Amino acid sequence: MAEAWTVPLPPEAHEPFEVYVNGVLQRRGADYEVEGPVLTFTNPLAKEGRLGFFRWASMFLGVAGTYRKNDSVDVVFQSAGKRRVVSGLPIVPPDSQ
């Protein structure tokens, strides 16, 4: 199996649901799979992570910005008869599993 980036689903999220990466609707089977309470993606996903002191200071002073990849995975589903959106779900890279 190819490397997979995983995203744990919120406990209250049950199918049918919609999955978005950076605001773009994803298709099950083409872009992701569902394995129990986890979404799996074969396309790389990344979170920027914490900024170090010097990077934070340079941004604060307006010397430099941040241009690192920072994907956002969002899930839209029905819960208790209401439409719910959970944004910025945690992304687990293959080397952390």
**pLDDT of 35-71, one tens digit each?**
999 999 989 997 655 556 665 566 566 666 656 678 9
Q: In what order do the strands lie in the sheet with 33-35?
A: 5-8, 38-41, 33-35
The 10 Å CB-count burial string (b at 16+, else e) for 32-71 is beeeeeebbbeeebebeeeeeeeeeeeeeeeeeeeeeeeb
Confidence of residue 12 (pLDDT cuts 50, 70, 90): very high
Q: What domain count does the chain have?
A: 1
CA 22 from centroid of its chain's CA atoms? 8
Domain carrying residue 89: 5-96
Confidence of residue 77 (pLDDT cuts 50, 70, 90): very high
Q: Is the dihedral of CA 16, 20, 23, 25 positive or negative?
A: negative
**Is the separation of the CB atoms in 6 and 96 below 8 Å?**
no
CATH number at residue 80: 2.60.40
Bridge pairing between strands 17-21 and 24-25:
antiparallel
Q: What is the rounded distance in angstroms from the CA atom of residue 75 to the CA atom of residue 16?
A: 10
Output the six-digit token pair for 70: 């920072």
